[in-house]
A and B are shown apart, each in its own frame.
Chain A
C-alpha cells in the first residue's frame, strides 16, 4: 500500500524538486511553453532585482555606514521595498513548485497534463477572483502597507533631529523608544491622557452624529410632513460643504473674543463669553458639537434610504397588535436600521478615531494644558502628526503609531469579527 503510494507520487515529487529552478519541473511534466515562461520570469526577476536586494538588505541591516553618502531613511525604504518584492517573488516561487507538483501528480494518476492553451483557460477561471482583487491589492501594498511597515520599522530606530541626513545616520535601537514612552513620566502621562480623550472622543462624537442622523431621518420620514425634498436638501448641506472649510470657519466663529458665537449668539441670550479656544473642556464641547454637525448628514442620508425599504407589512402587523409609535420604533424601525447600517456605523467610529482634520484645524490640538507635551484636545493621530512635522521626533511618532495600531487591532479582533461581514456560510 505504502509502496504504491510512494510509487504513485514519484512524478509529482521529482517535478517539484526539479522546479527548485523554476520551469524545470514543468519541462519534466512536458509543459514546455509553461516551463519557458516560468524560467524566464525567474531569470528576469533575479536579474532585475538583484541590485535592489543587494542594496536593500544591506541598507536594512546597517541603515548606512558613511555620511553623506548614505541616507538611513532611504536605505530603510529600499530595504522594505526589497522585502515586499521578495515576498511577491516567493509567492511566484511557491506557485511554480505547486504547479509542478500538481501536474506531476496528474501524470502519476495517468492523466494527460493539459496543453498550454488549456492551462491558460484553467488558470483564468481559478484565478478570476485574484484578478479582480489584484490591481486594488497591488495599489494597497505600495500606498498603504508599505508606508505603515515603514512607520513600524522607524519606531525601532533612533531617527530624530540628531540622527537625520545629511549629517548623521540613524541606527537600530530596539525597544528604546517604547521604553521612553512608558518610563519618562511626562511622556507616559501625556500618552494616557491622549489615549483617554481619543477613546472618549471616538465614542461620543460618533454616537452623537449617528443618533442625530437617525433621529432626523425618522423625523423627516413622517408621512404627513410637507416639503420633504427641501428638508432633505437642507440637511445634506453640512456634508456637501468641504469639511476643512467648515472647520476653519467654525474656528473663527468660536474665537473667544471676536467670534460670532460669543459676541452675537450667546450675547443675544445674555450668556457671558465662553472660553471656547482657551479652556480644554470647552474646546472639547465645541469639537463634539461640530463633529455632530459635520457627521450627521451622512447617517441621515443612509438612514433615509433604509427607512424607505422597511417592508410596510411589518408595521401593519404591529398596528394590529395595537403598538404605540414608540413601540413600533423600538421593536421594528431601530433594529432594522441598525442591522442594515452596521458597517456604516462602524466606519463612523473608525473615522472619528482618526479624525485628524477637525482636531488639528480647529484649535491645533490646543489649548495648552499643564503637565502634558500634547495639546488639551489632541487625539493620537494629531499628536503623532505634530511630533513628526513640528518637533522632528520621528521615531517617537512612529512608536506611537505602533501603539495606536495595536490598540485598534485589539478592538477589531474583539469586536468586528462578530459582525455580519465576516460570517461565512
Chain B
C-alpha cells in the first residue's frame, strides 16, 4: 500500500517536472519576443529578455502608416482574408465530405483519389500559374481571388479529414432519421453537423491559420503594399536589405499573435469536449 502511494508521488512529481520544462520551452521564445519588442535599436544584436531601457518606440512605429508600411491595414486585411477563408472552407468542405461519406455515386472513388493526390502537391509550386490567372481575370491585388485560392487549397486535405470523421458517425443515425421522413439536407444540418463539431473546429482552424502562415502565394497575387497581408508585410520588415527592424517585427508579431491565440483558446473547448459528447466518456 505504501509503495503504491510513493510510486504515485514519484510519477506525479516527474509529470510536473516534465510539464514545467515543456512549458518553459514554450514560454521562453514568447517571452523573448515580448522582450525584444521593448528593446531599443533595430536588431537582435543587443536584444535582451528584460530590456535595460525599455521603449514603446516599436509599437509607435507600427501606427505610422505611409510609404510601403501599413501595419493596421495589413492587420485588417489578414483578419478579413482569414475569416472568409475559414467560413468558406467550412461550408464547402462539409458539403463535399458529406457527399463522399454518405452517398455512393459514379466517380466517387476517383474523386477521392484525386483529392488525396491534390493535397500532397503544393499549390504554390504553381505560383506562376496563379499569377497569370490573376492577370487574365484582372484580379491582381484582389483579396477575393486570394480567398478563393486559399479555400481551393484547403478543400482536398480537409475534405479528407472531415470524411474520415463523418465515416465514424454511425449510419444508423441518419437512416432512422430518413425513415422518419427527414430530407438529406436536414439530416446533414441537424444530425451530422452537430456531431462533427470537433472536426469542424479543426477545419475552421486550418482555414483561419492557413492564410496567416502564407506569404509566398499572397505576395504573388497582392502587389500593392496597401493590399498586403500581415505575413508579407512582417516578412518584408525583417528581410529588407535596408531598414530591416527585428524589434519592430517583434512588436508587430505580438499584436497579431494575441487575438489569434485568444480565438484558439476559446475554440479549444470544442476540440476537446466535442469528442466526448459522442457518449463514451472516459
Residues of A bordering B, CB below 8 Å: 73-74, 77-78, 81, 128-130, 132-133, 135-137, 139-140, 142-148, 150-151, 154, 216, 219-220, 222, 224-225, 231-246, 248-250, 252-253, 255, 258-260, 264, 293, 301-302, 304-312, 340, 342-344, 347, 350, 353-354, 356-357, 360-361, 381, 384-385, 388-389, 394, 397, 401, 404-405, 408-409, 412, 416, 420-422, 424
Contacts and interface: CB of A to CB of B under 8 A. Distances in A.
Nearest to B263: A240
Contacts of A310: 280, 282
B81 interface: no
Interface residues of B, number: 103
A241 B136 contact: no
B109 A347 contact: no
Contacts of B121: 148, 401, 404-405, 408
A309 B23 contact: no
26 contacts: A129-B108, A132-B95, A139-B151, A140-B152, A142-B152, A146-B133, A147-B123, A151-B125, A224-B8, A225-B12, A240-B265, A241-B257, A241-B260, A242-B213, A248-B235, A249-B250, A252-B47, A301-B272, A304-B271, A311-B282, A350-B119, A350-B120, A356-B216, A408-B117, A421-B163, A424-B109
B264 A147 contact: no
B22 interface: yes
Contacts of B59: none
A343 B127 contact: no
Contacts of A293: 25-26
Contact of A420 (B116, B118, B167, B274): B167
A307 B124 CA distance: 36
A243 B127 contact: no
Contacts of A81: 136
Contacts, number: 282
A236 B268 CA distance: 8
A144 B123 contact: yes
Interface in B88-147: 92-93, 95-96, 98-100, 103-105, 108-109, 111-112, 116-130, 132-133, 135-136
Given A150-B129, A305-B271, A249 B253 contact: yes
A234 B264 contact: no
A242 B209 contact: yes
A237 B26 contact: yes
Contacts of B276: 305, 308-309
B280 A309 contact: yes
Contacts of A309: 275-276, 278, 280-282
B177 to A, nearest CB: 16
Contact of B153 (A130, A143, A146): A143
A139 B92 contact: yes
B192 interface: no
Interface in B18-46: 18-19, 22-23, 25-27, 29-30, 32-33, 36, 43-45
A133 B99 contact: yes
Nearest to B103: A129
Please provide the 7 A-B residue pairs with the shortest distance between their CB atoms, ordered closest to farther.
A143-B152, A147-B126, A150-B129, A305-B275, A240-B264, A147-B129, A132-B99
Contacts of B278: 309
Nearest to B209: A242
Interface string B229-269: 00100110010000000100110010011001101110010
